[in-house]
Structure 1
Amino acid sequence: EKPVALSLAELDRIRAAEGPAAAGAVFQHRYGPGARYLRDRITAGTLGRPLVAQCVTAWYRDDAYYGVPWRGTWRSEGGGPTLGHGIHQMDLMLHALGAWAEVRAMAGRLDRDVQTEDVSAALVRFENGAIATVVNSVLSPREESYLRFDLTDATVELRHLYGYSPADWTFTARSPGVTWEPPDGPPSSHAAQLADLLDGYEAGIRPDLGRPTMELVTALYKAAITGLPVRRGEIDAADPFYGSLNGGRPEVFR
């Protein structure tokens, strides 16, 4: 379950330790109705070229939530809402748009008595040229999870909170010939991913650990803490952010 690891180093050690057994991560939003359909349509180009995206995890966690000793610390949680809350929305964004290329970000501890951030914001450029804004917050009284994809021929939006159904998608076409007809299905859930996991097991396919998503999360922290853009692939074993999301700077958000 998320987060499957607290750093890229931990994630890579998990993968390296696999033998006949395999590890997998829960990313249930990929398996809700509309997610695969959107990805297939973007890949096929039938909605046009991806241009702009928005990825918002605007949730609310009060002070009592952080009263549990292990919450809000780098040592036990690994990070704040960027890692522990927004990772599912970011994973679905990557599932739809493919490989990211570069991230620039800001983060801070604005209102909660924690070590980690309680809000972050980023700009992400994708290999296909699309540019996305990403917001992760635990300070938002009106909670919402929101994804928007603007392509040359359509806008696709998803509004929900902790899980979505077919009714939570909206579609706006630039011309009448562009349609949105995803197959019906159950809400996004662990059960939906479990079915895919079992199909993969029978086919000899190892489950996904979500490394591209974890790499984006890590890059967002590095960009926010250093103030520098981070490119995909630059965080290797020699990078301090490879071993911890704060880059070894536990007081960074004082």
Structure 2
Amino acid sequence: MINIAIIGAGIGREHLAALRELSSEFRVVAVVDQNLKRIEEIRSGDTFVALTDITKVLTDPEIDIIDICLPPHLHVSVTLDALSFGKHVICEKPLATSLADVDRISDAAKRSGCYVFPVFQYRWGPSLAQLRHLMASGLAGQVQVASLETHWSREYDYYSVPWRGTWSGERGGAVLGHAIHNHDLLTHIAGEVAALSAMTATRVNEIETEDCASITFAMTSGALCTSSITLGAAGDETRLRFVFENLTATSGTAPYAPGGQPWTFTARFKDQQHEIDKAVVNTPLEAVGFEGFFTEIGKAINAQENSAVTLEEGAASISLVTAIYHSSRTGARVNLPLLPEHELYKGWLP
């Protein structure tokens, strides 16, 4: 049994719901939040301890994993503290807000011998399992182009939380806090980014950070990809399309769990459609979102073959965000990877 403490009862609510479904592998020992009432609102009959002091879980020898569900400006310090006490870490996005801090986390993880799992739960779901199966079988071929749409709606009530929409609290806007999941899916499916160009703007809300963006990516494979982002849409929709050599994969519009909604897989050549359909039908089922995410962490902790999100993948995500902000401010095309001498390596805050 893997014992886990959730830090933060906001997005921690969703983590808890997934962990309830995996009670044969995980036991939630404690939930920590400054507001005990908020903890009780998510308890739903659970027997975990409600705490306001994180030190109590850091020093508890029974706890294996610290699950960080806090505002972004607290992620690095709590991750480093957890690692110093010999705990594995799950950290909500973003893992950090500078590549220098990612290096600090990486060094601390090596010293402790513990895992750090950045949260990218969008990777899991039946439709994404089908796409990965088509790719692994050779039926898809190489990615040619891809387009991502993160078209969501965020209004005054969302930004009534004091730290949101600020550089000091949220550390970024739609690029960092919203589209980061879809950009992770892009690299998960299409591979590494070689270069990008980006434009960002604040057009929807009276906030400090960006709420719109348009980005073009050149992948190391040669594929060309685009990302369109706004928090001023009529509703919340995520739409993904990957055009491969032999098929086109198109998502539905589910905003937060794109792998949980059926995708279409259309053969470029009609005589291949039957084989593609057969492969899709024969793909093993996969849990959606956080449940799939935690399942793979359980395998990693138990030294089993797994596809858990790695610290290196979290680092790549922060590198991508850094490059996007640099491009949007300078108008330059930015090549990746970014080196330590890059001017935003220590952070992108204005």
Give the TM-score normalised by structure 2. Answer: 0.66
Distance 1:217 1:55, change over 3 A: same
2:271 paired with 1:176: yes
Aligned equivalent of 1:121, options 214, 235, 250: 214
SS at 2:323's partner residue? Answer: helix
What do the CA deviations read for 1:106-164 (whole angstroms, capped 9, x no partner)?
00111211111111110001111110111222111132111100112211011211114
The sequence identity of aligned pairs, in percent, is 33
Q: Is the 8 A contact 1:6 1:77 kept in 2?
A: no
In 1, Cα distance between the equivalents of 2:272 and 2:146? 22
Q: CA deviation at 1:12?
A: 2.1
For 1:62 and 1:132, the matched residues in 2 are separated by 29
Structure 2 match to 1:222: 326
2:335 maps to 1:237: no
Using the alignment, how far apart are the partners of 1:232 and 1:32 within structure 2?
Answer: 29
> Which of these two proteins has the greater Rg computed from alpha carbons?
2
Q: Residue 157 and residue 187 in structure 1: after superposition, are their counterparts in 2 closer, same or farther (change >3 A)?
A: farther
Between 1 and 2, higher relative CO (CA 8 Å, sep ≥ 6) is seen in 1
Specify the SS of the correspondent of 2:204: coil
Find the counterpart in structure 1 of residue 255 from structure 2: 161
| Equivalence for 2:315 | 211
Deviation at 1:40, TM superposition (A): 4.7
Q: Report if aligned partners of 1:103, 1:125 keep a CA contact under 8 Å in 2.
A: yes
Q: Give the direction of change, closer, same or farther, for the CA distance of 1:164–1:104 in structure 2 (3 Å limit).
A: closer
Per the normalisation by structure 1, the TM-score is 0.89
**Alpha-carbon distance, 1:41 to partner:** 3.2
Query: In structure 1, how many angstroms separate the alpha carbons of the residues matched to 2:211 and 2:147?
Result: 19
Tell me the CA shift for residue 185 of structure 1: 2.9
Note closer, same or farther for the CA distance 1:189–1:244 as it changes in structure 2 (3 Å cut): same
- Is structure 2 residue 172 aligned with structure 1 residue 84? no
Judged with a 3 Å threshold, the aligned counterparts in structure 2 of structure 1 residues 88 and 207 are, in CA distance, closer, same or farther, namely closer
Q: Which structure 2 segments of 5+ residues have no match?
A: 1-91
Give the number of equivalent residue pairs. 246
Pair 94,104 (structure 1): closer, same or farther in 2 beyond 3 Å: same
For 1:108 and 1:167, the matched residues in 2 are separated by 30
Matched to 1:226, the amino acid is: T
CA contact (8 A) 1:164 1:187 kept: no
Matches within 5 A, 1:42-191: 42=135, 45-159=138-252, 160-165=254-259, 167-174=261-268, 175-178=270-273, 179-180=276-277, 181=280, 183=283, 185=285, 188-191=288-291
**Contact 1:39–1:97 under 8 Å retained in 2:** no
Counterpart Cα distance in 2 of 1:230 and 1:131 = 15
Report the CA distance shift for 1:165/1:22 in structure 2 as closer, same or farther (over 3 A): closer
